[in-house]
Amino acid sequence: MIKAHRPNEQLATKHSVKSITLLILAVELVLVSLSLYESVFTWVMLIIGCSGVIRAIIYFQYYKHLPTIRTLNLLAVLSILGLTYSSFNESLLLIMVNLLVLACALKLMQARSQRDVYQLVSSLFFVIGCGFIFNQSIGFYVFYTFLSLTLLISLACFQAPSLSIQRQCKTVLKLSLQALPISILLFLVLPHLPPLWQVPTSKSFETGLADNITPGDIAQLSQSSDLAFRATFQGPVPEPKDRYWRAIVMEEFDGKTWRTAPLRKKIQEQLKRQNKEFSPAVTGSYTEYDIMVEPTHQNWLFALDLATPNNSKSANEIWQSSNYQLISNQTLLSKYEYSVRSYPQAMANQRFTQIDQRLNLDVPVSGNNKTQSWVAFQRKSNPSNDDFIQAVLRYFTQQPFVYTLRPKLMLSDPIDTFLFENQAGFCSHYASAFAYMLRLGNIPARVVTGYQGGELVKENNQAPYLSIYQYDAHAWVEAWTEQRGWQRFDPTALVAPERIEFGLQQAIQNEGSFLADSPFSLARMSNVAWLNNLRLFLADLDYDWSRFVLGFDDTKQKDLFKLILGKVTPDRLSLLGLGIISLVALLLCLFFLPHWLKNRMDTTQRLYFKALDVFESAGTIRPNWQAPLSFSEDIQQQYPATISNHFNQITQLYLRIQYQDTNKHKHSVLNTKRTHKLMRNHLQKLKKEIIKNNKSPL
């Protein structure tokens, strides 16, 4: 016997599917909002959590009533006021993202109809798109792709609740795989336009180095295994002792903290407005490399001395200061790639003004009396600048200085305490003390912070690259001499040469403080072979993703066109565009033509099966083994006469044409055309009645 689905059972099934769909949408909204926690206001996150809890309570039937429209309107008004208050000094994109997420949460609280579900699904796709703006790593890409597929599957289940979840998943995955090659093709050939908005800063504001340094700051930074940047070389990789990645120059010292001089910042801003850029004189051999830097929410860039942009794109986006620092014209709010050429033999002796001399000789009036007395004695004994510098450096080698991440606190007279009492510290302690001593000796000096070293990775088919992590952060000193200009000195290299040659981990292996604050970091477990291989594999995967996907800009697109076309001309670009359109059309034909040919049938069958499709969309499917008349009887039991009568007429007409004896009907062709016209009329009326029935209250 055929088990007929009663109307109330069908409505209960649809109601259950809608509840499950809304619960899934609630989970998706919570997950994607958590991934945007740095950009979504805290009180907005609380409202999102409340909307998810409401949907969970209703689904598990702890409570059966949604908030009233009046309650939601009041909450919406209060939310707009809160958003207005919270949005002062925030970017437009950040405000719009919070507004979109907030609208999704309110819509989730009051979703009742089919239209509400469609609107919520569409809005969630926009929220996921915002996630791609803020989070661009391959891990987040996989996460957002999973959320998108889940949205599509939930929408498919909501549309056809009677179909199995396995069938729905198979259909969605098949369509997604078919769309993948077309998406890749469009990614490669569509113009890469600049963003229409400025990506906002996150609540963490900055990552890594800062424009001020107090001894101990870099030691804290060295407890992080986060990636700072990667450098891909076109030729030989510099030796470890030459891997000083210059970033920030600090010229102001108050006795404890070094910072970028405010006067220097004002001068640089004025020169930028006047479009006056420093052009260093370069000589000798050079090293070419590309850098992919992680978001820092700052403007400074990293490069080996003495660096200049390597191509027109980098030259247009990078500004050079007179202290040989590379500065990006845009804040680094996402991964950024630029090309650099470094000249290690060039001397930084082009410019030394009275302002440079004043900034780099300034010392605090009081404090650190022991250091002042010691420097005065050494200066008297060594009147030559070179001799004095060597005397200061000898002090670091002759005394029992220790390189450590855990020095004792030096609250008062920190330079005296470090040089004559503790004699233990990190690179910032040594750089700060050395620069201060040179200034006391009337030698201009400044502290430079950046990174030193890097993990070398060589792949078979790719250029070698260095991965530089936050624990590679370093500080050193530059001193001005008349003969050589600004010259680098690193007292840390004298105290702990293994830090320069082999990295931080080797330098403090006896102390056991390497990444002590990150006990589960894979970098800390590099002595375990399989964990280290896993870490390197993940690093290579992230490198390829950053370089070939995130780094695929208009310049690389032009290079791709040159590789394909040889010479980029309007005629060849037109042919390429025509070929791409043809290729997309061919792919679409390969995807859909076999299905169309397989399901091609005569007009009578097509009209009858269209009627079956109408009922399938409403949740009633005819089994393959069931006869047309038997199924028509089931429809009469399940649906009102306004629906079942039209389908019964379509069934009778279908059987009449399929099984009529053409020999007995001389005018069979004419009768068939009339029958098809009647079937079409009943089919249109059937669709209208089904739509009315679906819109009726549950």
Instruction: Say if residue 510's pLDDT is above 80.
Output: no
660 domain-assigned: yes
Q: Do 180 and 299 fall into the same domain?
A: no
Q: What is the pLDDT of residues 514-545, one digit of tens each?
A: 777 677 777 777 777 888 788 888 888 888 88
Please name every residue paired with 127 in a beta bridge, in sequence order, or none if there are none: none
132 alpha-carbon distance from chain centroid: 6
Q: Do 376 and 443 fall into the same domain?
A: yes
Q: What is the pLDDT of residues 630-647, one digit of tens each?
A: 899 889 988 888 888 999
Q: Do 255 and 306 fall into the same domain?
A: yes
b/e per residue, 389-398, with b = 16+ CB within 10 A? bebbbebbee
Q: What is the pLDDT of residues 209-248, one digit of tens each?
A: 888 888 766 767 777 888 899 999 988 899 999 999 999 9
300 domain-assigned: yes
The span from the CA of 602 to the CA of 45, in Å, is 56
Q: What percent of the chain has pLDDT over 70?
A: 90
- The pLDDT assigned to 203 comes to 42
- The pLDDT assigned to 526 comes to 73
- The pLDDT assigned to 204 comes to 37
Q: Do 92 and 234 fall into the same domain?
A: no
For helices 69-86 and 42-59, the axis angle rounded to 10 degrees is 160
Pick 690 or 443 by higher pLDDT.
Answer: 443
- The pLDDT assigned to 206 comes to 43
From the number of C-beta atoms within 10 Å of its C-beta (0-12, 13-18, 19+), residue 247 rates as buried
Q: Do 263 and 180 fall into the same domain?
A: no
Backbone angles phi, psi at 297, to 5 degrees: 60, 25
348 domain-assigned: yes
Q: Do 162 and 224 fall into the same domain?
A: no
Q: Do 432 and 484 fall into the same domain?
A: yes
User: Max alpha carbon distance in the chain (Å)?
Assistant: 130
563 domain-assigned: no
504 domain-assigned: no
The span from the CA of 376 to the CA of 386, in Å, is 15
Closest listed residue to residue 605, CA positions, set 651, 649, 666, 648: 651
462 domain-assigned: yes
Q: What is the pLDDT of residues 247-269, one digit of tens each?
A: 999 999 988 899 999 999 999 88
Closest listed residue to residue 363, CA positions, set 412, 321, 415: 415
Q: What is the pLDDT of residues 262-302, one digit of tens each?
A: 999 999 889 888 888 888 888 889 999 999 998 888 889 99
Q: Do 175 and 221 fall into the same domain?
A: no
- The pLDDT assigned to 7 comes to 44
Instruction: Say if residue 318's pLDDT is above 60.
Output: yes
* Dihedral angle, C-alpha 393, 399, 402, 407, nearest 10 °: -100
Catalytic residue chosen out of the listed positions 429, 474, 646, 682:
474
Domain boundary among the residues 466, 493, 520 is at 493
Q: Do 37 and 162 fall into the same domain?
A: yes
- The pLDDT assigned to 289 comes to 94
Q: Do 166 and 222 fall into the same domain?
A: no
Q: Does the annotation mark 490 as catalytic?
A: yes
The span from the CA of 352 to the CA of 28, in Å, is 59
The span from the CA of 67 to the CA of 472, in Å, is 54
Pick 38 or 667 by higher pLDDT.
Answer: 38
- Number of domains present in the structure of the chain: 3
Q: Does the annotation mark 427 as catalytic?
A: yes
Question: What is the pTM (predicted TM-score) of this model?
Answer: 0.71
- The pLDDT assigned to 666 comes to 46
For the residues 458-486, what does the mean pLDDT come to? 86
Q: Annotate 262-282 with three-state secondary structure.
A: HHHHHHHHHHHHCCCCCCCCC
Q: What is the DSSP string of 468-517?
A: EEGGGEEEEEEEEETTTEEEEE-HHHHH-HHHHHH-HHHHTTTTT-TTTT
436 domain-assigned: yes
Residues 6+ apart with CB under 8 A from 682: 646, 647, 649, 650, 653
Domain boundary among the residues 493, 521, 543 is at 493
Domain boundary among the residues 189, 209, 241 is at 189
Catalytic residue chosen out of the listed positions 157, 356, 427, 429:
427
CA distances from 74 to 67, 262, 522 (A): 11, 49, 50
The side-by-side arrangement of strands in the sheet containing 258-259 is 212-213, 258-259, 252-253
Residues 6+ apart with CB under 8 A from 643: 635, 686, 689, 690, 693
Domain that holds residue 346: 217-493
Q: Does the annotation mark 104 as catalytic?
A: no
Residues 6+ apart with CB under 8 A from 661: none
135 alpha-carbon distance from chain centroid: 3
For the residues 71-80, what does the mean pLDDT come to? 89
Q: Do 176 and 230 fall into the same domain?
A: no
Instruction: Say if residue 200's pLDDT is above 70.
Output: no
The span from the CA of 650 to the CA of 644, in Å, is 10
Catalytic residue chosen out of the listed positions 305, 490, 542, 634:
490
580 domain-assigned: no
The span from the CA of 681 to the CA of 674, in Å, is 11
Q: Do 181 and 221 fall into the same domain?
A: no
Instruction: Say if residue 626's pLDDT is above 90.
Output: no
- Highest mean pLDDT of the ranges 63-72, 196-205, 226-235: 226-235
- The pLDDT assigned to 1 comes to 34
Q: How confident is the model at residue 10 (pLDDT cuts 50, 70, 90)?
A: very low
Tokens of 642: 């306004």
Any idea which of 395-409, 471-485, 583-597 has the lowest mean pLDDT?
A: 583-597
